[in-house]
Amino acid sequence: MNAVRAWLSALVADWRLGLLLVAALLLGAPWLSPGTVQIASFVLIAAIFAQSINLLTGLAGQISLGHAGFFGIGAYCTGILVKTHGLDVALGVPVAVLLAGLTGWLLSFPANRVRDVYLAMMTLGFGMVFFEIVREWNDVTGGTMGLPGVPSAALRTLTILGVKVDGLGYFRLLLLITAGIVLLMRNLTQSRIGRAFYAIHVSEVAAGSIGIPAGRTKQLAYALSGAVAGLAGALYAHLVGYLGPESFALPRSIEVLVIAIVGGLGSIAGQVLSATLFTFLPERLQVFAEWQFIAYGLVLTFSLLVLPRGIGGLFFLPPRFIRPRALARAAARRAETATLRPAGQGAALEAEGITMRFGGLVAVDDVSLRLEPGRITALVGPNGSGKSTFVNVVTGIYRPSAGRVRFAERDITGLPDHQVAAAGVVRTFQDPRLVPHFTVRENLLLGAHRQFRHTGLAAALALPGATRDEAAQLALVEAVLALADLTDVADRPIDTLPYGTRRMAEVGRALLAQPRIILLDEPAAGLSEAEMERLSQLIRDMKAMGIGILLIDHHMDFLAELVDDVVVLDSGRMIYRGDIAGMRGDAQVIAAYLGDEAAHA
């Protein structure tokens, strides 16, 4: 089955086939009946609309129950501008797209404050508010009577830039626009933007730790999704010629969500197939139209039970997040240039008097320590002594109750995690936080998110500069894969690999962020002897690059071979700072942590 999926995936990824299909439809359309051309036009609009959900929900993981609102903004905006104000469609549609995108961007601010079921409710509210505005704003929208007579293909009143466009011409235009949107979506998915969307979908904390800001990433996802939905709505307006509020009510939001889920969230081709199915069937089977929502419910339930990854998951392999051309380029240049750039100008991190209280509990109590470039400091102590909390404070997950963190002569206390990472202070987690569906290589490339120099537009258009930039980072990824001994599993999804491999991949991902300070929270936990050996070599390599390292661990032998300094915490307080031999003989450390036996082992 996987071989069939691989074959089909390669087929739909082949641009020549896409071109052939588009050309065949463009040329063959005159042989179709006007009714079929009209339905096919609806299919294309549904496909574009479904891509907007695919982007927001499938990629960025943000549920929306109010997408009919964006669709409606696009439709009414161009409808009003073209019909009432006499604007050309070639201007009306882009303005509509911009307005819907802007609305999406604005909606992202409240949306960023809630999640899950609350987000669903909030977006539902947005759709309902839009619906009410349209119904009540009689003068502009025509209220419940609607807005008839919008220049359209159906009414044979559509002219674009002075050229009369009939149903067939409009279908051809829609086909080209849909092909363009599908291409843009594919390019975005296989770029730093698609990877960032998916990273915040899986874990905002993990994304923040490598410098991906959840808030800004969501703003972009909402704006793009709103714009694409607005485009679908605007194109719809000039297809049908009549806009009534009922067309933009809750059922349309549900319908597009069902299309997207059944198509398989994340699968671009799946959306097109699903849009075709859901648009053709109701037209062909009249009985289906009457029982439309019961049918939707049944199809959705069936799909979730039998095809959890939708039609897309049935026919195609899961989407990939690296452009194959960039990968090929990287492979060609790996030999000469894939050397890891040593970390920039060495800089120390200074934590002064850090205190972190959770209610009455003092998790970290007045701890000061300094991390020097090219030095390894171990942070040890019994369970619950405050080690992870200290790392969380330094890396911006918590704002300390007291104390300051300075890095490279800059006060970074209380900065959000992504800004701390952007400054060069990167961490790993006690439980590896990787993107489960990403391959090892994709996970590592995610770490390089802040190193890219090309714009989002260049990524969406897959401009040569963007591909070159990706290839340069991929060459570094190959170097880190080799360093961490992960080359053999580079193309395997990370969730199919053993724990030790995942840990190594997380350290590798942090290294790709080109840190100047790295904080490793128990990286050796659960590793085999051989894996620990590999990890300690990797840590030595990082030290040699001039990176300052904080290493939390409980294995004294592992630490003894590696570290320059040790800091011991007990109940949040620092009870020892010095070298490891001194620590082993320290009475307070023995009493609180090591115990007599361990100290003399």
Ligand X SMILES: Nc1ncnc2c1ncn2[C@@H]1O[C@H](COP(=O)(O)OP(=O)(O)OP(=O)(O)O)[C@@H](O)[C@H]1O
| DSSP tally for the chain: helices H, then strands E | 28, 12
For the record, the structure tokens of 385 come out as 């002594």
DSSP string, 300-332: HHHHHHH-TTHHHHHHSPPP-SS-HHHHHHHHH
Q: Which is nearer to ligand X, 54 or 389 (CB)?
A: 389
Rounded distance, CA 236 to CA 219, Å? 25
- Minimum Å gap between C-beta 290 and ligand X is 54
Q: Which is nearer to ligand X, 309 or 357 (CB)?
A: 357
Q: Which is nearer to ligand X, 347 or 393 (CB)?
A: 393
Q: What is the 3-state secondary structure (H, E, C) of 79-114?
A: HHHHHHCCCCHHHHHHHHHHHHHHHHHHHHHHHCCC
Q: Which is nearer to ligand X, 111 or 420 (CB)?
A: 420
- Minimum Å gap between C-beta 521 and ligand X is 8
Instruction: Tell me the β-bridge partners of 402.
Output: 355
Residues 6 or more apart whose CB falls under 8 angstroms from that of 420 comprise 394, 395, 396, 412
Q: Which is nearer to ligand X, 76 or 390 (CB)?
A: 390
- Minimum Å gap between C-beta 571 and ligand X is 9
- Minimum Å gap between C-beta 404 and ligand X is 19
Beta strand ranges found along 428-524 (DSSP E): 517-521
Instruction: Tell me the β-bridge partners of 578.
Output: 566
Residues 6 or more apart whose CB falls under 8 angstroms from that of 204 comprise 214
Binding site for ligand X (CB under 6 A): 358, 361, 363, 381, 383-389, 430
Beta strand ranges found along 311-420 (DSSP E): 349-358, 361-371, 376-380, 402-407, 410-411
- What is the end-to-end Cα distance of the chain in Å, rounded? 55
- Minimum Å gap between C-beta 382 and ligand X is 7
- Minimum Å gap between C-beta 381 and ligand X is 6
Q: Which is nearer to ligand X, 374 or 384 (CB)?
A: 384
Q: Which is nearer to ligand X, 109 or 358 (CB)?
A: 358
- Residue found by looking up tokens 């993107």 in the block: 435
- Residue found by looking up tokens 């205190």 in the block: 355
Q: Which is nearer to ligand X, 141 or 388 (CB)?
A: 388
